[in-house]
């Protein structure tokens, strides 16, 4: 038996996305919720990258 949840999530669609989609009855909601989640993840990745670069820069400055 195929796990529908695993298949959906592997495509980037969570159960929450599907529920929002069913409640609204519009594919637009599914796309926008996924887009918003992707945007939040991108902001987190950028923040983490800046933090790690700052840590590395501080270490390099100490060694010089």
pLDDT in tens, 21-60: 666 665 666 667 888 889 999 999 999 999 999 999 999 9
pTM higher than 0.75: no
Band the pLDDT of 64: cuts 50, 70, 90: confident
**Residue (of 31, 10, 9) closest to 20 by Cα position:** 31
- Under a CB-based contact definition with an 8 Å cutoff, are residues 20 and 30 in contact? yes
What are the boundaries of each domain within the chain? Answer: 4-63
- Under a CB-based contact definition with an 8 Å cutoff, are residues 17 and 31 in contact? no
């Amino acid at each position: 038996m195929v796990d529908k949840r695993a298949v959906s999530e592997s495509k980037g669609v969570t159960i929450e996305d599907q529920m929002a989609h069913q409640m609204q009855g519009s594919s637009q909601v599914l796309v926008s919720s996924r887009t918003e989640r992707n945007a939040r993840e991108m902001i987190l990745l950028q923040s983490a990258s800046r933090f790690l670069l700052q840590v590395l820069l501080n270490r390099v400055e100490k060694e010089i």
